[in-house]
Amino acid sequence: MSEPTDAEVLDRFDRRILDILAGDGRISVTELARRVGLSKSPVQARLRRLEETGVITGYRALYDPIRLGLDHVAFVEVKLADTREAALEAFNAAVRAVPEVEQCHLIAGSFDYLLKVRTGSMTGYRMLLAERISTLPHVAHTSTYVAMQAIKEDAAGPLTAR
C-alpha cells in the first residue's frame, strides 16, 4: 500500500482553511478560526502544518494586470527540436527567467509546451516572441493564440466543492 498524498490527509477543516485563505490571504488567525469553527490554537497548528508540508506554498498580493497596462494575453504553443530530458530541463530553466511568461505547462500532444504570456501590447508581444521566446533552448516552432477576453481566471477553485 502506498503512502497517502497530502490531498488524502486533509480533513474538512484543512480544506475550509485553504478555501478561506484562497479568498483572503490577509485574514487574521482569530477570524479564520471563527469562520472554520475551531479555536485559535488548533487553527494556528493546522496552518503551520500546511505550510511545513508544502500544501501552502506562500502568500502574495493579487493585482489587476489590466490596470497596470498589461492587457495583452497570448497563449503560445511551443514545439522543441529535441525532447530528451536534458533539452527539457534547459528549456524549463530558461523559460522560468522570462517574467512575461505567467504559466508554462509541459503538454502531451502535438506540441511540447503551452505558455500563457502577458504583455502591454501586440508590439510588445511580437518583440518578446522574436527576442526571447523563439531563442529559448531547443525551440523549433511556435504558434500564438491571442486572447480577446478573459471569461474566468481563478486559481484552482474551492476545495470544499470537490
Q: Is the pLDDT of residue 137 over 70?
A: yes
Q: Is the pLDDT of residue 107 over 80?
A: yes
Q: CA angle at residue 51 from 46 to 54, to 5 degrees?
A: 125
Average pLDDT value for residue range 101-122: 97
**Displacement of CA 54 from its chain's centroid (Å):** 15
Higher local confidence (pLDDT), 101 or 161: 101
57 to 36, 43, 48, 70: CA distances (angstroms): 20, 17, 11, 26
Q: What percent of the chain has pLDDT over 90?
A: 80
Sign, CA dihedral 17-18-21-22, equals: negative
Same fold, 10-52 and 72-147: no
What is the average pLDDT value for the chain, to the nearest integer?
91
Q: What is the pLDDT of residue 101?
A: 98
Average pLDDT value for residue range 55-65: 89
Q: What is the pLDDT of residue 85?
A: 98
CATH tag, 10-52: 1.10.10.10
Q: What is the pLDDT of residue 153?
A: 82
Residue 64: band (very low, low, confident or very high) from pLDDT cuts 50, 70, 90: confident
Higher local confidence (pLDDT), 152 or 146: 146
Q: How does pLDDT run across 3-58, given as a tens digit for each residue?
A: 555 556 899 999 999 999 998 999 999 999 999 999 999 999 999 999 999 999 99
Residue 162: band (very low, low, confident or very high) from pLDDT cuts 50, 70, 90: very low
* Contact indicator for 74, 117 with CB cutoff of 8 Å: yes
Q: Is the pLDDT of residue 59 over 50?
A: yes
Higher local confidence (pLDDT), 69 or 3: 69
**Displacement of CA 81 from its chain's centroid (Å):** 26
In the chain, where the domains are located = 10-52, 72-147
CATH tag, 72-147: 3.30.70.920
Q: What is the pLDDT of residue 157?
A: 57
